[in-house]
Structure 1
Amino acid sequence: MRYATPQTFGASHTTIGITDLMTSLAIVFILLFAAQITKTSSAAQSELQENKEDVQTALRDHIQRLGLSLDADPRDPLALVIVVPEDRLTFEFGESSLSPTADRFLEDALPFYVGALCGPLRNKIDSLAIEGHTDDQGSDAFNLKLSQERSLAVMVKGLEIIQATEPTAYQCFQEIASASGRGKQDLIYAPVATVNREKSRRVIFKIRLRSAEQRHLVEQSTHPL
C-alpha cells in the first residue's frame, strides 16, 4: 500500500488551490464582461431613445398641423411611423394616379420632412420607406400591385417636389427613400373584428434610425484614424 508523502500532498493541495483561483478569476472576468455588455446595451438604448425624441421634436408641430401622427413602430424598435390617412393622399378607386388633394399634401409635407431628415437629423437617419396599403377588397395579387404602384407614385412625385424646392436635399432623398407595397397584409380592424376599410387604405412614411453599430461605422468612415 502506498501512502501520500508530504511532498505529493503539498503538490496536490497547491494544484487544487491554483484551480480554485483560476475558476474564481474566470467568474470575475465573466461578471465584468456581462456588466460591460449591459452598460453598452443600456447606453445604446438611451442614445436610440434620445434620437427618437430628436426626430419627434423636429417634426411634431408640422405633424400636428396636418392632423397626422408620429408613433413608434411596435415591430421595429428603430423605426418611427407617420400614417397618412386616405383623405390626405387620395387616389381614384383601383387607380394609382395622385389626386390634386394628394399633390397639395405632398407639396406641403415633403419639403419639410426631407429638409429635416436630410439636414440636422441626417447622421441619425438610415432610411425613409414609403409604404402603400390597401383594404381587403380584391385579390392579394391585385392589391399588392396597386399598393406598390401607389407608393411609387408618391416617391416619384416626391422626387419632383424635392428637386424643385429643396435641391440640396435631392441626392440625400434618393439615397434614403424607397417605395414598397404591402397590399392587404396589414389591415386595420374595427373593435368588432371587422376590417376598417377606410383606415386600411393608407400610405405610411417609415423613418428608420441608424443603429449604434451603423453610427459607429459612419463615424469611422467620416473620421478615419
Structure 2
Amino acid sequence: MINKYRRTVNREFEKSSFWPTFTDMISTVLMVVMLMLFSVESITGSVEKDLAKEVDTSVKETLKESGLPVTVDETTGLVTFGEKTMFDVDSSELKPEAKEMLKIFIPKYVEAIYKDYGENISKIVVKGHTDDVGSYLYNLDLSQKRAFSVAQFIVGDEIGNYKYKERVLKDIEAIGRSEAELIKNKDGSIDRDSSRRVEIKYEISLDK
C-alpha cells in the first residue's frame, strides 16, 4: 500500500515538474531569439548610421561644388527636394533646371550608397508629398505622378549613363503620399511650402 502510494506521488511529481522545465526551456528559446533580433537590429542600425554619414558627406561635397538646392538628413540619409526646385504649381513635369540638378546629384548619390554597402541596399524609394490644400485624392494623384517623374528620369535615357544605373533600375520605387506626412511648424501649424516635396531614401536589408 505504501509502495503504491509512493508510485502515485512520484508520477504526480514527474507530471508537475515537467511543466516548469518545459516553461524554462521556452523562456530560454525566446531569450535567444530576442538576443538575435537585438543583434540584427544593432547591426542594421550601425550600417544605417555609416551609410547616412557617407551619403551626408558625399551630398555636402556635391552641394558645395555646385550649389544644388538639396537637403540631407545626416542621421538617416534622407534627401529632400523642395517643390519649387522640381516642379511648377500643380505640375508633375520636371523643370529643366531640376533635370540638370539630378544629372549632377544622382550619380554622386548612387555611388555613395552602393560603393561600400551595395549588398545591403534593398530599395531606393522616391516619395512625393503635397500640402493639405485640395482633396486628398487629387493630392495623391499629383504626389504619385511627381514621384514617378523623378524615378523615371533617374533611370531614363535623358540623364545619361552612370555607375550602378542598372542596379538602380532594379531597386527603385515611386510612391505618392499625398498629404499623409505634412511638415509642421514649431507652433503646430502646417508648413505648406516644406510639405510640398520629393524625398529619396535607401532601404537596407542584411539578408541580401
The normalised TM-score by structure 1 is: 0.79
Counterpart amino acid of residue 186 in structure 2: P
Q: Aligned partners of 2:23 and 2:176: how far apart in 1?
A: 51
Given that residues 163 and 170 in structure 1 are in contact (C-alpha distance below 8 angstroms), is that contact kept between their aligned partners in structure 2?
A: no
Determine if the alignment matches structure 1 residue 62 to structure 2 residue 58: yes
The normalised TM-score by structure 2 is: 0.84
Determine if the alignment matches structure 1 residue 130 to structure 2 residue 126: yes
The percent of aligned pairs where both chains have the same amino acid is: 20
Q: Aligned partners of 1:71 and 1:8: how far apart in 2?
A: 75
Q: Aligned partners of 1:63 and 1:147: how far apart in 2?
A: 24
> What is the CA distance between 1:10 and its match in structure 2?
1.3
Q: Deviations over 1:70-129 (max 9, x none)?
A: 2667xxxxxx53222335x32111112212331232112211222233432121111111
Q: Deviations over 1:121-148 (max 9, x none)?
A: 1211111111111222233232222222
Determine if the alignment matches structure 1 residue 85 to structure 2 residue 46: no
> What is the CA distance between 1:54 and its match in structure 2?
2.4
CA RMSD of aligned residues (A): 2.3
2:172 maps to what in 1?
177
Q: Aligned partners of 1:117 and 1:91: how far apart in 2?
A: 26
Aligned match of 2:184 in 176, 186, 189? Answer: 189
Given that residues 82 and 194 in structure 2 are in contact (C-alpha distance below 8 angstroms), is that contact kept between their aligned partners in structure 1?
A: yes
Cα separation, partners in 2 of 1:47 and 1:161, compared to 1, 3 Å = farther
2:17 maps to what in 1?
21
Q: Show structure 1 runs of 5+ residues with no match.
A: 74-79, 219-225
Determine if the alignment matches structure 1 residue 108 to structure 2 residue 104: yes
Larger radius of gyration: 1
Given that residues 52 and 75 in structure 2 are in contact (C-alpha distance below 8 angstroms), is that contact kept between their aligned partners in structure 1?
A: no
Q: Aligned partners of 1:162 and 1:173: how far apart in 2?
A: 15
> What is the CA distance between 1:28 and its match in structure 2?
2.5
Q: Aligned partners of 1:35 and 1:162: how far apart in 2?
A: 53
Matched residues, number? 201
Aligned match of 2:31 in 31, 35, 52? Answer: 35
SS in 2 for 1:174: helix
